[in-house]
Structure 1
């Protein structure tokens, strides 16, 4: 069994490409069934705003069938996506998984949110039976490594995340957030983090819009915010000085026309908009409007770099931890190759033993001397157990196969005498 990690992320592909390869949550089960039926023995899919990755257990180490499946599933032309795709085989796949979970491959170095997303991805795959021995062990080890990195290094010491970077950018445009109204679209983890950071900045008023008002209210109430439904967006958009959106919608929620109407109602007072979602929630054309400052998740890269210096030394420590853990994991994977041989050896020796024990019992039942029966049993077992190895060693000696002779000495713990 081989491991392969195939994907695209914010390092290799712009948001316009990533959104085409993203998996909607409601389609994940279908996709897992499809990929395990067509190309992989085991599979897990990680799909976030910054990356889409498939972790697969395959009979061979070729990742091309996985890439082909990804293109076919999303109806993408191979030429359009292949330049952005990376593939990590075997040990490289293990290292990549460890680095991703530890936040070393994130837009924000060391951000903790990706670990929760990986746990959700594994839980979804495990629930539908898409994982097996290899991926179960890989993800369990991945979570343990991420925990050790958090415990043993200062990778998470500085409060830096996509959410905090979004609020930092808002502060650059509006020096005093206490007089601004913020519209948060969505009710997931990223929006909740944004709400938390905004509360710390004593923002003037927060409106949380979600498909279901009940879910919006659950997020809004702890922060004293207002909850509305997505259906109310056209009527309330003009109230917002700042719009931050992060939903799982496959289609844009805010179009150019709706924003133009809001700007007219605001008498063209500027609006600051951040679209963290992949696929995007806000039509790109909105950025062409003269009174709108629209940023996507890719635009946050420059902002997040400012608070990263304190994490760089911790990241180097984390890389050393990961290198050791990759070797440990791969030794376990390689040990699986010996399992069929060990099982066959045990089954063969047990069959020989059972045959000789039955023969000895028949002799005892006839009244033969027990001492003689035991001696014969011991001789027979010794001869049967050593017959095949002895023949193989004689042939190895005749053929000059020193490697097999040395292996036999190690295998049976024989000294030079």
Structure 2
């Protein structure tokens, strides 16, 4: 069994190069079928995300880089121009790489969990296209188990390392029960969308989306059972908000001190948690001077993120130890597979000899010989048949001064001194 990984990712190539090797979901089945037609490929799994394209293979060792050539041919790329961006791992290194990828240790954001789901999707696609057999099947199931162990036994995923997640985590610290809180999200870009999803997943009571383009606000609000308003309507709704998160492309603040003061009076001094993710800032800095306002800017969140990243780096060291141990376990399983053909051959030979001797015994019984005599002869003949060749080889090893074979026989048959 020879395992190989070929790939390109965010560490080795810019997006302009990575996109040349990407497989979209609609073409993945055709790509797998094309790859499996190569005579060197026994099994294959292809994973393709925005940050990586990787091919995991069980191949025939007689062929030199068959998948690398196929990858370039399939995407019509020159090996000479792109070879510097690609990496290749074999056997233990290939196993370790997959375990690290599954555990989030090779991701752009250390410890992110999305890659595990993407790996499972890639594995399912390969399985459905009959590209997965015993070797890769066992390898990927082992990788999924390793990722689960890393998540369970370390703090690799406990600390938020995205701006959106950090903002929501802070909100949860201030408002212990988000189910009783209302959030006003200003903007409708990617970061605000992530904040909305995190708040929605944490069971927040109500979400208001304010955006310059009302249609975009409506589109996002529908995804999180929210309510859409225009920026001009914010003064009428600000007092409802316990949480305010803003991320627009405005060159001027969209929330001023006066508007916030009026909202606080309507709220009867109930506090408001505010996060200004925008650059330039959306919320006037003077707002932080008001009592009952907790205002954080993007730099404050970055400090939190860096602290959490360090926590993840510490957890990653523990994860690497788990992975090293699990690589050894999988290599041990691979070594047992090398013995399977030998075991099968021994069993088949023994079974054939047993069948022949049993047939002879049945004929003897039909001829009227005593059962005791037939059974005794069957037992003696079977013992002689099964041990004839091992005995001959052991005698020959003594003649040839080969103590290793004799030592192996002692171990094989559990013979004590």
Equivalent residues of 1:95, 1:326 under 8 A apart: yes
**In structure 2, distance between residues paired with 1:142 and 1:196:** 29
Alignment partner of 1:41: what SS?
Answer: strand
Equivalent residues of 2:185, 2:192 under 8 A apart: no
Please tell me whether residue 14 in structure 1 is matched to residue 14 in structure 2. yes
Q: Residues 352 and 127 of structure 1: is their aligned pair in 2 closer, same or farther, counting only changes over 3 Å?
A: same
Please tell me whether residue 220 in structure 1 is matched to residue 223 in structure 2. yes
* 1:23 corresponds to: 23
Superposed CA offset, 1:83-115 (max 9, x none):
111111011111111111110111111111111
Alignment partner of 1:103: what SS?
Answer: coil
* 2:289 corresponds to: none
**In structure 2, distance between residues paired with 1:152 and 1:205:** 41
Equivalent residues of 2:116, 2:144 under 8 A apart: yes
Alignment partner of 1:222: what SS?
Answer: coil
Equivalent residues of 2:160, 2:166 under 8 A apart: no
* 1:146 corresponds to: 147
Alignment of 1:169-188 (within 5 A): 180-184=186-190
Alignment of 1:16-415 (within 5 A): 16-38=16-38, 39-60=40-61, 64-161=65-162, 164=165, 180-184=186-190, 193=194, 195-197=196-198, 204-205=209-210, 220-224=223-227, 242=248, 307-415=308-416
Equivalent residues of 2:209, 2:227 under 8 A apart: no
* 2:291 corresponds to: none
**In structure 2, distance between residues paired with 1:209 and 1:413:** 78
What count of residue pairs does the alignment treat as equivalent?
334
* 2:2 corresponds to: 2
* 2:238 corresponds to: none
Equivalent residues of 2:160, 2:305 under 8 A apart: no
Give the superposition deviation at 1:360: 1.2
**In structure 1, distance between residues paired with 2:50 and 2:135:** 27
Q: TM-score, normalised by structure 1?
A: 0.71
Q: TM-score, normalised by structure 2?
A: 0.71
**In structure 1, distance between residues paired with 2:154 and 2:214:** 36
**In structure 1, distance between residues paired with 2:188 and 2:56:** 38
- Residue ranges of structure 1 left out of the alignment (5+ in a row): 169-176, 185-189, 211-215, 227-239, 244-265, 271-290, 292-300
Equivalent residues of 1:2, 1:59 under 8 A apart: yes
Superposed CA offset, 1:241-293 (max 9, x none):
758xxxxxxxxxxxxxxxxxxxxxx9x989xxxxxxxxxxxxxxxxxxxx9xx
Equivalent residues of 1:360, 1:373 under 8 A apart: yes
Alignment partner of 2:46: what SS?
Answer: strand
**In structure 2, distance between residues paired with 1:19 and 1:140:** 28
Give the superposition deviation at 1:331: 1.0
**In structure 2, distance between residues paired with 1:329 and 1:197:** 37
Equivalent residues of 2:192, 2:247 under 8 A apart: no
Give the superposition deviation at 1:307: 3.5
Give the superposition deviation at 1:180: 3.8
Equivalent residues of 1:208, 1:220 under 8 A apart: no
**In structure 1, distance between residues paired with 2:334 and 2:215:** 47
Give the superposition deviation at 1:45: 0.8
Equivalent residues of 2:221, 2:227 under 8 A apart: no
Q: Residues 383 and 60 of structure 1: is their aligned pair in 2 closer, same or farther, counting only changes over 3 Å?
A: same
Give the superposition deviation at 1:304: 6.5
Equivalent residues of 1:23, 1:47 under 8 A apart: yes
- Aligned-residue RMSD, C-alpha: 3.5
Equivalent residues of 1:63, 1:87 under 8 A apart: no
